[in-house]
């Protein structure tokens, strides 16, 4: 299965311009699944009233249109308003337009995200192309319990607006999550700048042994990677560390 990681800059709070740019990346991608960064339509906005849309809005509608037009799944996070509440919502759109959603669990309170957004309360795993994907957003990467694989997923996707000042943490934790979970890890970050931060990109696909399969620098780019479920399953059978994992329950 081929996945495309789209790393690009975005215009601050200009969702129309960002949708035009995002479609160009989706159209260019020769892949079964195209992944866009966190809040790709607006930039990382912590005052969502100005830019939030409902699930019936144009941003979500455009994602569905891209998926149908180009015949590939499209994933990324957007700011959603529901009943006066705001969510940083990861959307996975199948080629037929069906949507699976997952709200960001760990809100970045240090940057003010926790003041205006509602945290998610469940992990979401989608099946596509013979693989099971866990859908997570940015700051979730720092919390290994929420990311823990209990033999229930094959790859984890982190879409992010992760600043350059903490790029070593980003690069290190992507590989740690791959190694400890014996899973593919796909990290899609933005590049460029907004009013509060500069972003160095460093989007990457990491193999289930922790090896770098492909990695970007700070430039806008489209990375593609082939994921092999048979190789993954063979490795898990050969080195089944997951069988010895601690049992636990999540309380949210």
DSSP-assigned beta bridge partners for residue 159: 137, 188
Q: Count CB atoms within 10 A of the CB of residue 85.
A: 12
Structure tokens of 152?
């229930």
Structure tokens of 153?
């997923």
Q: Count CB atoms within 10 A of the CB of residue 196.
A: 12
Q: Which of 62, 113, 138, 182 is catalytic?
A: 138
Contact 81, 45 (CB under 8 A): no
Contact 161, 201 (CB under 8 A): no
Give the span between the Cα atoms of 247 and 222, in whole angstroms: 38
Give the span between the Cα atoms of 79 and 97, in whole angstroms: 19
Q: Which of 6, 104, 113, 182 is catalytic?
A: 104
Q: Which of 38, 62, 113, 182 is catalytic?
A: 38
Catalytic annotation present for 6: no
Give the span between the Cα atoms of 99 and 66, in whole angstroms: 13
Catalytic annotation present for 238: no
Which of the residues are catalytic?
38, 104, 138
């Amino acid at each position: 299965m081929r996945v495309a990681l789209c790393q690009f800059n975005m215009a601050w709070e200009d969702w129309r311009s960002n949708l035009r740019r995002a479609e160009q990346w989706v159209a260019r991608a020769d892949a079964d699944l195209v992944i866009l960064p966190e809040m790709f339509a607006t930039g990382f906005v912590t005052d969502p009233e100005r830019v939030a849309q409902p699930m019936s809005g144009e941003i979500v509608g455009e994602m569905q249109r891209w998926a149908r037009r180009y015949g590939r799944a499209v994933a990324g996070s957007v700011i959603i308003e529901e009943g006066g509440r705001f969510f940083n919502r990861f959307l996975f759109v199948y080629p037929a337009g069906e949507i699976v959603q997952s709200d960001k669990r760990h809100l970045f309170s240090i940057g003010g995200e926790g003041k205006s957004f509602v945290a998610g309360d469940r992990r979401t795993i989608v099946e596509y192309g013979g693989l099971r994907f866990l859908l997570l957003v940015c700051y979730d990467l720092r919390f290994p319990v929420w990311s823990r694989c209990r033999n229930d997923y094959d790859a984890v996707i982190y879409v992010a607006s992760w600043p350059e000042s903490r790029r070593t943490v980003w690069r290190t934790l992507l590989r740690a999550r791959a190694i400890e979970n014996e899973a593919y890890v796909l990290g899609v970050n933005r590049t460029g700048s907004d009013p509060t931060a500069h972003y160095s990109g460093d989007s990457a696909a990491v193999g289930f042994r922790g090896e770098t399969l492909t990695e970007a620098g700070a430039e806008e780019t489209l990375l593609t990677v082939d994921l092999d479920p048979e190789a993954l399953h063979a490795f898990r059978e050969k080195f089944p560390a997951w069988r010895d994992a601690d049992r636990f329950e999540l309380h949210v």
